[in-house]
Every structure is written in structure tokens, then in C-alpha cells.
């Protein structure tokens, strides 16, 4: 089960540039390697707040985890400049990850851009559990940003479907095209998705009425542990709409429990 | 020299002067796995209203240089749910429990305070008078002496518990407000709440926060907080709980010398959940270095007539 949350320093054992402005750090972190895919860590960077990053890899055997991030501002730029052997101060594992997929249902993993990594962690954890066909759909701006494609390819038999905004790899367009086709073939399937909010809204909309659809969301955070009520998204409550905390009630939500506006 | 961290805020004793600030520490259990609550001087819970408040749309936080803007909008589940779900945990947490009280009318503040009267395990009430007063067109209760006094008077008549009134920095004369609420029976002053500000999201060409404006906290506001504590300390006789940007034992000592009897730590906990314990650990050494054996010895040390002003810093010599 999920490891207990703690705050600790972990060494970077390996660092790799995986795409332009995309860096993956592998940490030796046995406490974090008990995490559930979809959970995240809150990493100390200079400044007032920590930075939330999902697990790209969770390997309980080696006690290593991966964090793969895009450099978008000061915090991620600082993280990208850390060298191997330096320590990262981390709170984690945090939040509610993906539920274990059902063994006998076709499983589709849908990742957009820097939302791809947590799906790799999910596939790695549960690839033997799911006996039904496993499909992977990855979307990004251009070919350069279809990250972790080779990693996925090693774990699934079927070809990976790729879409890019400019058509530089796979088909031109968004993940919604291949996902619609997958759905028509597998109405009883289950879907895990992570990516930019508009993509997730599209996935939720497309798969309305389908039971097992789980989405990993992002929201700006303060504490990361459920205390400050910063990171809310709108969900269905017993008595109408109510806020859910991405850091504590999520970041993974069932598509049915969210309200998209 | 042995240092004793025991502190009193009026009649209330604390094991040490460092408490968690309202709104940054949830209702207690959230930080349980990361913070030893029993080591804290106290915990001020998130503002509690008579019925649930929904709060503002996201984004609700935005990092700024040396600070944080928030527009949480005082989301909370209401006093009933607080009493049912959160108080039992807080009662056994081994720390002082301060309930931060919010309302949109004077009656709402009184409803919360009256409801809490039958509950044990509450050590003090902290009135957040930075709430918009719906009967006065949304102007906050803390905006002028008359309204601040009125809400304090009304709440005072509902409870004998220690009553702390938390000042807004967004007024011309915070000390005047402090004097007004002291006259109505406030037992202590908390200072300061957040400073109104805003940021622009360049990418989306709009205000960064869902609530448009927000409250600035963190190191950026420490000088403002110190100034207000220093002014209030000269105007009232009741104790002051100082806060705003505290991150170290030296910061605590600054607030003590400016006139605070105890302090609260808010935003700094987000980056370092253990920071209050770190500060508590560092305080004995810090106090010794400052030739003090207790926090109380430093309270107000920098106030006029108390500090040791050196020759070249006498008033009149400054530029
Ligand atoms: C649960 C969760 C998991 C995430 N996982 C990943 C991941 O695996 N890989 C990855 O590249 N990114 C991930 N993100 C987004 C990542 O947190 C932001 O890109 C990062 O915080 C940006 O920090 P910065 O200082 O570089 O950018 P700035 O824009 O300078 O950051 C300013 C502030 O805004 C916040 N912020 C900016 N963008 C986001 C965002 N998209 N989501 C939340 N907060 C944001 C920052 O944390 C910081 O407080 C995740 C976000 C969340 C909420
Ligand atoms: C996210 C957040 C939520 C807050 N919520 C409340 C609140 O509910 N009631 C209140 O009186 N003050 C609230 N505050 C103000 C803090 O208690 C404190 O007065 C202020 O942040 C200054 O201290 P700091 O710089 O150490 O954070 C909040 C502050 C933050 C950052
Ligand atoms: S970030 Fe504080 S509640 Fe989620």
C-alpha cells in the first residue's frame, strides 16, 4: 500500500535530459518507492513554495523513483540544474493515486505532454495485473515532446498510438481521435489519463457515461498536504457542487466526480 | 544560563511562544504526519463560520518575490462540522487550541462563539475581523474603530474565554483599532493578517488569482508586521501575538522586542513543515545570545524608553 508521508532528503542518482527542456531525475528513495502511481511529491526549491511533481517511475525493488518535469519557470529551472549526488528535500508520497486497474477489462493509458510520466509509472506497476489488452495513446506538441515512448514500448505488445499538434510524429491532432476509436472497440474498458486541463476536459467529455475513467489533475498548491485549501477543483458533492483538494482528495479523480466548466 | 520557553498570553500559559497561524495549518490533523503538534505552543485553526463557506474560485495561491498571495476566501465546513470532525482530534493533540472565528454579520460571529461555548478543549478565540461585513456593503469589520469595537463587544458578551482580536494591516491606524477593541474587553491582539495585493497572469492576460485580489504573506510583509506590532504595543496594555513572515528564532526575537508576547508562523510552514519545531529548538540558544532566560524578558525590549539606544542613534541625529 501507499507509503507513509514524510519529509526527507533524497540523493539524485541519475539525471537525464529526455527532451528539450525536459529533465528526468532518478532518486534513491526507498520510502518513496512504496508510492502508488499517480501520487506526487512536493519538492523544496528556493522561494516560498515547494513544487509538485508526479512519479515517472516507482521501483520498489531498487528503491528508486523518477521525477520527470518540464522547465517552465524558476523552480523547475533550479531543479534541472541539480547534479547527480546532490540531495532533494521532498515531502511525499502525497495524494491519492490511481486505483488498481481491473484485471479483465481493456485498459487505455492516455498521456499528454508532461502528463505522460505518471502513466508510465501506472503501466509499470500494473502491467502484469491486467490480462485484457493494454493500449497507450501519447500526445504532444511535436515529435520531440512525445516523452518516454520507448519505455512504454518495452512494456506493451500493441503499437503505441502517437498524436502531435503538428503531425511531426504519428497522426496530426489530439489524443481524442484515437481515444474515440478505442472507446468504440472497448465500451467496457477502463481509462487512465493525465495531461493539460483542456485535454482532460476533452477526455471526460468524450468518455461520458463510461464507468472507469480516472484523471490525474493539476492545480496550484500551497501546502500540498490538505491544510490550506488552495488547490481546489469543482466536484460533485452530496448536496451539489463542492470543492475537492487536488493534493489530498486527488490528484487522481474519477471523471464522474468532477464538474467541468 | 538555562532558558525557560514557557510563555503566557494573559491568563493563558503556553509551553513556548510559537504557534501555527490560522489558515496555514488546516484544522489540525493535516500536518499530523509531519509535525509533532505536542511541541507547538498552540495551533490556530482555519476560520470557522456558522454555516459552510464555499470560498473563492481557483487559482487561490500565487507565489511572489519573498511572499505568497492567497485568495482562499475563508472556505470552511462551518462550526457544526468543525465540532464534530475536528475538535476531537484537537482535544487530544497536546497543544493549545485557538479557534479563529469569522462571520459576515455581528450575529454570525456570535453564533459561532455561542455554539463553541458547550465544547471543551478550546483555549482561546481569535476574531478575524478582516471579513467583509455584508450589512456595510462589504467593508471589513476591521476597517474602522466603530465596527471593530462593535463586533468585539458583541462577542465579549457571549463568552468568557480568552478573546484575541486579529488586526488587519490594511488600515491607516491599526493601533487605533487595537485601542478600540481593548476597551471592549479583548484579552489580546493578533497582528497581522495578510496585506491586500494582486498579481497579473501574463500568459492569460488577467489577474492571477481567482479572487482577483489576495492577501500577501511571508517574508515580504515582516517589516510591515513589525511596525504594526511596535505601534500597537505602545497603545494597548493587553498582550500581542505577532506574526508575518516569521522563519527563524531571530525573527521571533524581533517580534518579541517589538512588543509581542508570543508569535505565530504561517506561510513558512508550507516550504518547511518542521520549521516551527526548528524555531522552538533554536530559541534557547537565540535567547541566551541575547542575554535573556525567557521570551518574556525580551517582550518590548525595543520599545521607546526600553531599548539601549547608543549615542549615535539618538532621535534627531538620524537623517
Ligand atoms: C499534482 C501535480 C503533479 C505534477 N506533476 C508534474 C510532472 O510530473 N512533471 C511536470 O513537468 N510538471 C508537473 N506538474 C506541474 C509542475 O508542478 C509545475 O510545472 C511547476 O510547479 C512549475 O514551477 P516553476 O517554478 O518552474 O514555474 P512557475 O510558473 O514560475 O511557478 C510559479 C508558481 O506556480 C506554480 N505552478 C506553475 N505551473 C503549475 C502547474 N502546471 N500546476 C501546478 N502549479 C503550477 C508553481 O508551483 C509555483 O508555485 C504537476 C503539478 C501538480 C499539481
Ligand atoms: C493560505 C492562507 C490562509 C489564511 N487563512 C486565514 C484565516 O482563515 N483566518 C485568519 O485570521 N488568517 C488567515 N491567514 C493569515 C495568517 O494567519 C497570517 O496572519 C498571515 O499569513 C501572516 O503570517 P505569515 O507571513 O507567517 O504567513 C491565512 C494566510 C494564508 C497564507
Ligand atoms: S495545497 Fe494546500 S490544500 Fe492542497
Model confidence over B189-234: pLDDT tens digits?
999 999 999 999 999 999 999 999 999 999 999 999 999 999 999 9
Q: Please report, for chain B, the start and end positions of each structural domain, with discontinuous segments joined by +.
A: 7-51+76-194+218-302
The pLDDT-based confidence of B244 (bands split at 50, 70, 90) is: very high
- Cα–Cα dist A182/A189, whole Å: 9
Q: Which of A91, A222, A243 sits opposite B61 (nearest CB)?
A: A222
Q: Please report, for chain A, the start and end positions of each structural domain, with discontinuous segments joined by +.
A: 6-93, 107-216
Q: What ipTM, to 2 d.p.?
A: 0.94
Superfamily of domain A6-93: Translation factors (2.40.30.10)
Ligand closest to Cα of B62 equals 1
The pLDDT-based confidence of B310 (bands split at 50, 70, 90) is: low
A107-216 domain in CATH 3.40.50.80? yes
The pLDDT-based confidence of A158 (bands split at 50, 70, 90) is: confident
User: Is A196's Cβ below 8 Å from some Cβ in B?
Assistant: no
Q: Which of B68, B273, B274 sits opposite A49 (nearest CB)?
A: B68
Average pLDDT over residues B238-243: 98
The pTM (predicted TM-score) of the whole model is: 0.95
State the distance from the centre of ligand 2 to the C-alpha of B194, rounded, in angstroms: 6
- Cα–Cα dist A243/A240, whole Å: 10
State the distance from the centre of ligand 2 to the C-alpha of B21, rounded, in angstroms: 6
Superfamily of domain B7-51+76-194+218-302: Aldolase class I (3.20.20.70)
In this structure, the number of other CB atoms found within 10 A of the CB of residue B168 comes to 24
Radius of gyration of chain A measured on its C-alpha atoms: 17
Residue pLDDT, tens place only, A53-93:
999 999 999 999 999 999 999 999 999 999 999 999 999 99
Residue pLDDT, tens place only, B22-75:
999 999 899 999 999 999 999 999 999 999 999 999 999 999 999 999 999 999
The pLDDT score that the predictor gives to residue A133 is: 94
Atom of ligand 3 at shortest range from CA of A221: 1
Q: How high does pLDDT run on average in chain B?
A: 94
The pLDDT score that the predictor gives to residue B308 is: 63
- Top pLDDT among B311 and A240 is at A240
The pLDDT-based confidence of A1 (bands split at 50, 70, 90) is: very low
Which secondary-structure segment (H or E) carries A191? strand A190-194
Cell numbers for B12, please give them.
493563558
Residue pLDDT, tens place only, B141-189:
999 999 999 999 999 999 999 999 999 999 999 999 999 999 999 999 9
Residues 6+ apart with CB under 8 A from B168: B129, B130, B140, B142, B143, B174, B177, B192, B193
β-pair type (A213-216, A190-194)? parallel
Query: How close B188 comes to chain A (CA, Å)?
Result: 25
The residues of B annotated with a catalytic role in the active site are 131
Cell numbers for A21, please give them.
527542456
Amino acid at each position: 500500500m501507499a507509503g507513509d508521508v514524510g519529509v526527507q532528503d533524497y540523493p539524485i542518482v541519475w539525471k537525464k535530459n529526455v527532451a528539450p527542456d525536459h529533465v528526468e531525475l532518478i532518486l534513491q528513495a526507498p520510502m518513496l518507492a512504496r508510492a502508488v502511481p499517480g501520487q506526487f511529491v512536493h519538492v523544496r526549491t528556493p522561494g516560498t513554495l515547494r513544487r509538485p511533481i508526479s512519479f515517472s517511475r516507482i521501483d520498489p525493488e531498487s528503491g528508486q523513483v523518477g521525477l520527470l518535469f518540464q522547465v517552465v519557470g524558476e523552480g523547475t529551472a533550479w531543479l534541472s540544474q541539480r547534479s547527480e549526488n546532490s540531495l532533494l528535500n521532498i515531502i511525499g508520497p502525497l495524494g491519492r493515486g490511481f486505483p488498481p486497474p481491473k484485471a479483465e477489462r481493456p485498459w487505455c493509458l492516455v498521456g499528454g505532454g508532461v502528463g505522460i510520466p505518471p502513466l508510465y509509472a501506472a503501466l509499470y506497476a500494473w502491467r502484469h495485473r491486467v490480462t485484457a489488452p493494454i493500449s497507450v495513446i501519447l500526445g504532444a506538441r511535436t515529435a520531440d515532446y512525445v516523452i518516454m515512448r520507448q519505455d512504454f514500448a518495452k512494456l506493451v505488445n500493441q503499437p503505441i498510438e502517437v498524436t502531435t499538434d503538428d503531425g511531426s510524429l504519428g497522426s496530426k491532432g489530439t489524443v481524442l481521435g484515437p481515444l474515440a476509436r478505442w472507446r468504440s472497440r472497448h465500451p467496457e474498458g477502463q481509462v487512465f489519463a493525465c495531461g493539460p486541463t483542456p485535454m482532460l476536459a476533452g477526455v471526460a467529455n468524450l468518455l461520458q457515461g463510461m464507468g472507469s475513467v480516472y484523471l490525474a489533475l493539476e492545480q496550484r498548491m500551497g501546502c500540498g498536504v490538505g491544510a490550506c485549501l488552495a488547490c481546489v477543483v469543482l466536484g460533485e458533492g452530496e448536496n451539489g457542487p463542492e470543492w475537492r483538494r487536488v493534493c489530498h482528495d486527488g490528484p487522481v479523480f474519477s471523471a464522474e466526480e468532477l464538474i467541468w466548466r | 544560563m538555562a532558558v525557560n520557553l514557557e510563555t503566557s498570553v494573559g491568563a493563558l500559559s503556553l509551553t513556548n511562544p510559537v504557534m501555527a497561524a490560522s489558515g496555514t495549518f488546516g484544522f489540525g490533523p493535516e500536518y499530523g504526519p509531519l509535525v509533532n503538534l505536542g511541541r507547538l505552543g498552540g495551533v490556530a485553526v482555519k476560520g470557522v463560520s456558522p454555516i459552510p463557506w464555499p470560498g473563492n474560485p481557483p487559482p487561490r495561491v500565487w507565489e511572489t518575490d519573498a511572499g505568497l498571495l492567497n485568495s482562499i476566501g475563508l472556505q470552511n465546513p462551518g462550526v457544526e462540522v468543525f465540532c464534530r470532525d475536528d475538535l476531537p482530534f484537537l482535544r487530544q493533540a497536546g497543544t493549545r487550541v485557538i479557534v479563529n472565528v469569522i462571520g459576515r454579520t455581528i450575529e454570525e460571529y456570535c453564533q459561532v462563539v455561542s455554539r463553541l461555548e458547550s465544547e471543551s478543549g478550546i483555549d482561546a478565540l481569535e476574531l478575524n475581523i478582516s471579513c467583509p461585513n455584508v450589512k456595510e456593503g462589504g467593508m471589513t469589520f476591521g476597517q474602522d474603530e466603530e465596527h471593530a469595537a462593535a463586533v468585539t463587544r458583541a462577542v465579549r458578551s457571549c463568552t468568557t474565554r480568552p478573546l484575541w482580536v486579529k488586526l488587519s494591516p490594511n488600515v491607516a491606524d491599526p493601533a487605533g483599532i487595537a485601542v478600540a477593541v481593548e476597551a471592549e474587553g479583548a484579552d489580546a491582539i493578533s497582528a497581522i493578517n495578510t496585506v491586500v495585493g494582486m498579481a497579473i497572469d501574463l500568459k492569460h492576460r488577467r489577474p492571477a488569482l481567482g479572487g482577483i485580489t489576495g492577501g500577501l504573506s511571508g517574508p515580504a510583509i515582516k517589516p510591515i508586521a513589525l511596525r504594526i506590532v511596535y505601534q500597537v504595543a505602545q497603545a494597548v496594555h493587553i498582550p500581542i501575538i505577532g506574526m508575518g513572515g516569521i522563519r527563524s528564532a531571530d525573527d521571533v526575537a524581533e517580534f518579541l522586542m517589538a512588543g509581542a508576547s508570543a508569535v505565530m508562523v504561517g506561510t513558512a510552514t508550507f516550504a518547511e513543515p518542521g520549521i516551527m519545531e526548528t524555531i522552538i529548538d533554536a530559541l534557547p540558544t537565540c535567547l541566551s545570545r541575547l542575554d535573556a532566560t525567557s521570551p518574556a524578558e525580551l517582550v518590548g525590549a525595543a520599545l521607546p524608553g526600553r531599548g539601549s539606544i547608543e549615542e549615535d542613534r539618538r532621535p534627531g541625529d538620524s537623517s
